[in-house]
A and B are shown apart, each in its own frame.
Chain A
Amino acid sequence: MTGTHTDESTVTLPAARGACPFAPPPAYGEARRRSPVSPMSLWDGTAVWLVTGHQQMRTVLLDKRFSADARVPGFPFLSPGRKQLLTKATPSFLRLDDPEHSRLRRMLTGDFIVKRAEAQRPQIQRIVDEVLDRMTGHGSPADLVRDFALQVPSRVICLLLGVPYADHQFFESQTSALVDLSTPPEEIKAAMAELTGYLTRLAERKRREPDDSLLGRLVARGELDEAECAAMGMVLLVAGHETTANMIALGTLALLRHPEQMARLRAEPSLMKGAVEELMRYLSVVHFGLPRAALEDVEIDGTLIRAGEGVLCMLSEANRDEALFQDPERLDITRDARRHLAFGFGVHQCIGQPLARAEMQIALETLLRRLPGLRLAVPYEELEYRTDKAVYGVRELPVTW
């Protein structure tokens, strides 16, 4: 493979979605059925490999010969704006390889242990109840995205990081620009500068006035300068906000479209943990594929990937691999979906997953319990989706109850 593919079966990324808003683009499924590692090309014609098989994806994401560092030759970018975003001067640990990745990630792992997320459940429940009180207080209809789904993770991450909630509108608008595929490079650069400036000032303040927040303790360790602390804060703001928010909103819509399963979940709240895993599998909102670049020639399932070639691991397809999930196009909240790869795989797998799971479980459980008459306030056919955002979801979800 030298620069471009010539095979006419090549998929161009990101591919268009089909009629079902919950299903990934049909072209990815077709590629998986042809070969779990198949050729595709990017917006600028760059040739990369699309990994769609569950086992093949685990293999790639575990193999240290595939780099997550955006400065490595062949690293695939999905748009000019994302190239700008990912090649910034101080990369976060997401875009570094071990041992540097591990050194930085391990400064945070203690904050995201399962026990801690479990202990935070009462606080999360309080946040969810307050947000829902406010939404219902304004009367129906409401936009479940704006008035509920976006607010819950935003407040949780503010609490965790030690970011004043009063500033949430500012950083929500900035992070929203960062995850939009259509944001031009200069605007990405501006949004990053705004956020970095904000977080750097916040880190400086926490150095003067130490507190027990994640950012406060990170500053107090004394191992990172303010710019590095700001980079850590930024990745947590971006990663912890839109992902969880879109899962809550799109997950609610998926349940509204499967009323028998929604009724069952209302009647048996103990099914919620499994239901959230199944919704993550079924919806796979991180939908552009995890990018990696080969540092050496590596053979994956009979396909030779050469040093300097890019790879995109399409999580939604691993989550629909028939080898692991029977009848994968069907939502079934009672299936064992725990082997899904919606949080990624390998050493970069989502660090905040215990917290994200707690947020999704509590938000959905509370919504179903407190609003037994929850339903769409507009025809389903009128809903629009975030096809152009790094995190997929529904743009607005007008509901009544």
Chain B
Amino acid sequence: MRVGVDRDRCCGAGQCVMSAPAVFDQSESDGLVLLRQGWAGSAVRGDVELAVALCPANAISVEDDAGKA
């Protein structure tokens, strides 16, 4: 799946990094979300879905491979 983040919405809670550390990171300067990779394979799909559910600011979007949200 494709993964997108909205840094304007991000509140730096860090839930995404705790859920899917292979995909998400936080900037050391402003603490806001950074993407390690814009695409998540099946091995981390569950982690990314958890990150979407846990993000308190609705700042993560995913799109499956067929291009649907």
Q: Which residues of A contact B (CB under 8 A)?
A: 61-62, 102, 105-106, 108-116, 338-339, 343-351, 353-354
Contact = CB atoms under 8 A, between A and B. Distances in A.
A110 B11 contact: no
Contact of A111 (B15, B21, B31, B58): B31
Contacts of B18: 114, 354
Contacts of B27: 110, 113
Contact of B56 (A111, A116, A346, A354): A346
B27 to A, nearest CB: 7
Contacts of A108: 31
Nearest to B30: A110
A102 B11 contact: yes
30 contacts: A61-B56, A62-B58, A102-B11, A105-B12, A106-B30, A106-B31, A106-B32, A108-B31, A109-B12, A109-B31, A110-B27, A110-B30, A111-B31, A112-B31, A113-B17, A113-B28, A113-B31, A114-B14, A114-B21, A115-B17, A116-B28, A338-B50, A338-B54, A346-B57, A347-B9, A347-B56, A351-B13, A353-B13, A353-B14, A354-B18
Nearest to A62: B58
Interface string B32-53: 1000000000000000001001
Interface of B: 9, 11-15, 17-19, 21, 26-32, 50, 53-54, 56-58
Contact of A349 (B11, B21, B26, B30): B11
Most chain B CB within 10 A, of A113, A339, A344, A350, is at: A113
Contacts of A61: 56
Contacts of B14: 112-114, 353-354
Contacts of A353: 13-15
A347 B11 contact: yes
A224 B22 CA distance: 36
Contacts of A349: 11, 13, 15, 56-57
A105 B14 CA distance: 14
Nearest to B57: A347
Nearest to B21: A114
A105 B11 contact: yes
Contacts of B12: 105-106, 109-110, 112-113, 351
